[in-house]
Amino acid sequence: MAEEGAEKNLAEGVEATKVPSPSSLADLKRKMQLKGTVARLELYGAFIDIGVGTNAILHISKLPDRVNRISDVLSVGDEVSVWVLNVDKNKEQVTVTMIAPLAVEWSDLKIGQVYGGRVTRLERFGAFVDIGAEKEGLIHISELSHDFIKQPSEAVKIDQDIDVQILGFSKRKRRIDLSRKALLNTQELEVEEIEEEVEEEEEELPTAMEIALRQAMTEPPDVGELADTSQTDISGSDKGRSEQNDILSRTLKLGQEVSE
């Protein structure tokens, strides 16, 4: 269920660690978003007062845009929004960044894990999906559908939100392999099980005519009917035919009563 794709993953990964005003180092966690004030500028970066008694270090490489001097974009007293990169409680040191962290880091990935993503582009061999990681994941064309398809556009569209499962990944190769078919298989099995249960229930319910036939075969005929047949000399074949006609007659009569 891919309602919001990578944006949903980012919200879960970042907003969950967002605290309005931490008061100590113990309150800080990675990816936590904070408001701070520029306290001092240096050649390599800036010191940011985040209200925990220790100024955080913002390295020049952690600015949204590449600059030669940090003073080109920041001044003492500026209010900034930063995210916690690392907390060293022993050294009482905090590093922060002004670049929004990834919703899904390499260390977060696990085979079999399910993410919501958005289809970003289609190629002849498959579809690329943004799950909020450093690199887009690839769904090979063979993992898009259980049905045979000639091109990915037969299964997904660009900007479509879908659920995907991690098949494998390599940080060294910057590659994430995804599957959509694996999740569709689970959903299809659930639907088939429900359909089978419904069919079994329908098969167990007898029709009105079946009920009437059972009653006609088990219930004895009326006394009047027995009297009529006893007064007549009936041969073996005629007797069998008479019994069949009698059962059919009572079945039709009972069937009408059950239907009513």
What are the two backbone dihedrals, phi and then psi, of residue 227, each rounded to the nearest 5 degrees?
A: -60, -40
First-to-last CA distance in the chain?
47
**Spans of the chain, pLDDT less than 70:** 1-20, 185-260
Strands (DSSP E) found in the chain: 33-41, 45-49, 56-59, 79-88, 93-97, 114-123, 126-130, 137-140, 161-170, 175-179
Identify whether the C-beta of residue 44 lies closer than 8 Å to the C-beta of residue 31.
no
Per-residue pLDDT tens for 16-44? 444 457 878 888 888 899 999 999 999 99
Token match 């970003």: residue? 120
pLDDT of residue 24: 81
pTM of the model: 0.55
pLDDT of residue 234: 46
Instruction: Determine the CATH number of domain 14-97.
Output: 2.40.50.140
pLDDT of residue 23: 74
Looking at the chain, the domain(s) classified CATH 2.40.50.140 span 14-97, 106-183
pLDDT of residue 213: 60
Class of domain 106-183 as given by CATH:
mainly beta
**Residue 37 C-alpha from the chain's centroid:** 40
Half-sphere exposure of 29 (CA within 13 A, CB side): 10
